Chains A and B, each alone.
Chain A
């Protein structure tokens, strides 16, 4: 699959007020989301994150400002053309219950007039991509589990290879284990297909885990901070952000890094003592520290298939922050 199309999205002083409410839903929002970025909009309810998302495919109109996709104002595009070029995934999934999984996935390609055969091939390809069986194409949504349905929702959004995906709390209704698995697979998928993603969640953990960039919105639709997860955790812009990301932000930051990304200490010549835990290089710094605290050791040995790569010590951890 050669899916490399991604779009740059720009919010340019966008404001939205709902009739009969004093506070703005989105207040003078300006954001630049480079092509291929996984951008998470996060914040408490009333922060306008879903409103901001739905403005991009014009499900919600806004009052002033401009949103541009690859430099073109979305107001200049015909509505159906705009929407068919954007993958849209929502929490409730919204699969068509009267259509098979295959037909659900083929919705946008059908609208675009693809030949039948190509639609079927594409559906099969996408089901595989999101971890379903080709035979599932013949089933109806009611026959699937919640996690499977959201996979179908994702496949349906990707069907016509849109350069932009909008995801509105897509995993919010799933159990924690399924959610974690789908998060992992979405990250893998994002690496693979390289699309721009705008992802809404109220869960800061999910935001930190998923985002290349995080936009934190506060009540009244004001952008509080827009940066990488690491920068936000290291330097929260204000008290609101600091409170929102939690007092354990140092640990959260360490959870973002794995041992393989660090310069490890030399293992020395002698055999490390037997009490020192051994961990694979994919271990996060946070988990390595946890293990040290648990075992009373002041270091862990990083090894890959029995081959020692180096040492990671508590002292080294302190210097990371």
Chain B
């Protein structure tokens, strides 16, 4: 299966400097020159791909986790299904999906979203479960309804675990998302890497810069979530 789809025609270094034509270790000039047409858009697309996958993953995992929390019997089937999904190598999963969802973003998002489920679902369930029994008992004893126990006690206390799950999901989605560029889509930071690898003498700067951007994106997203957790969980910081 070969890549279909448009995008700028490779190679990108035809008219380049000696650094580029000589394929030196890293050419800043090329990065600057192609930020606007290649790297910048790829970064933005990668962010979008990640945000959609984690967003939809959370939207699915959250209600499932609430159900599993309420009806314990459901937890195991949910976990088994999502874990099975995770055991499928991403390349193979993309292949499996192409006949159904075709080449393009849909396939990528379906695959990435299913991976986030495996991370988000157990984290949310664990977070809800981690609330100490005495806290729940006190809440019930004071006359909180089941829904009030959930919204006022269990969910706030599960926030650290939920954000922890989101951090892992975001970082791994950024990483797996680059694989999508290999055969499924021209969007995201995976494509410039694939692009460079297509050449018999791969252009190192393109691989390095796209790879570095993926790492930077993962770190930045992770840091954002850490800040978010600090804002949402003021009580965990102030211990005696």
Which residues on B sit within 8 Å (CB–CB) of A156? 142
Would you call B145 and A94 a contact (CB within 8 A)?
no
Q: Does B71 contact A (CB under 8 A)?
A: no
CA distance A195 to B213 in the complex (A): 67
Taking the complex as formed, is A80 at the interface, i.e. its CB lies under 8 A from any CB of chain B?
yes
Closest to B160 in A: A98
B210 to chain A, nearest CB (A): 41
Q: Decide yes or no: A90 and B144 within 8 Å by CB, A140-B238, A143-B238 being known contacts.
A: no
Interface hits, A95-110 → B, CB 8 Å: 95-99, 107-108
CB-contacts of B117-146 with A (<8 A): 132, 134-145
Are A84 and B143 closer than 8 Å at their CB atoms?
Answer: yes
- Counting chain A residues whose Cβ lies within 8 A of the other chain, the interface size class is 20 to 34
Tell me, yes or no, whether A83 is within 8 Å of chain B by CB: yes
- Contact between B240 and A88, CB atoms less than 8 A apart: no
| Majority secondary structure, A binding face | mixed
Q: How far is the CA of A156 from the CA of B144 in the complex (A)?
A: 14
* From B132, B141, B148, B239, contact of A88 by CB (8 A): B141
**Given A94-B132, A95-B135: A111 touches B144 (CB 8 Å cut-off):** yes
Residue in B134, B143, B235 whose beta carbon sits within 8 Å of that of A83 in the complex: B143
Contact A83 B140 (CB under 8 A): yes
Checking B139, B143, B235 against A142 with a beta-carbon cut-off of 8 angstroms, the contacting residue is B235
Within 8 Å of chain A (Cβ to Cβ): is B52?
no
Query: Which residue of B137, B138, B140, B240 contacts A143 across the interface (Cβ within 8 Å)?
Result: B240
* A90 CA to B132 CA, complexed, in Å: 13
From A57, A84, A90, A99, B235 is in contact (CB under 8 Å) with: A99
B205-240 Cβ-contact flags toward A at 8 Å (1 or 0): 000000000000000000000000000010100111
Across the interface, which residues of A come within 8 angstroms of B139, CB to CB? 94, 96
Known: A98-B157, A144-B240. A93 touches B134 (CB 8 A): yes
Interface size on B, residues (CB 8 A): 23
Q: Compute how far the CA of A159 lies from the CA of B240 in the bound complex, rounded to whole angstroms.
A: 25
User: B138, A84: Cβ atoms under 8 Å?
Assistant: no
B143 x A93 contact (CB < 8 A): no
- Docked Cα-Cα span, A238 to B92, in Å, equals 77
Contact A111 B240 (CB under 8 A): no
User: Nearest chain B CB to A103's CB is how many angstroms away?
Assistant: 10
Smallest Cβ distance from B20 to chain A, in angstroms?
55
> Known: A98-B157, A98-B235, A142-B240. Is A92-B134 also a contact (CB below 8 A)?
yes
Closest 9 CB pairs of A and B: A94-B138, A83-B143, A92-B134, A88-B141, A84-B143, A94-B134, A80-B143, A143-B240, A142-B239
21 contacts between A and B (CB under 8 A): A57-B141, A59-B137, A84-B142, A84-B143, A90-B138, A90-B141, A92-B134, A93-B134, A94-B134, A94-B138, A96-B135, A96-B138, A97-B135, A108-B143, A139-B238, A140-B235, A142-B235, A142-B238, A142-B239, A144-B240, A166-B141
Binding site for A on B (CB under 8 A): 132, 134-145, 148, 152-153, 156-157, 233, 235, 238-240
Taking A79-B143, A83-B143, A96-B138 as known contacts, 10 extra A-B pairs with beta carbons closer than 8 A to each other, sorted by chain A number, are A80-B144, A86-B141, A90-B137, A90-B141, A92-B134, A93-B138, A97-B135, A98-B235, A143-B239, A144-B240
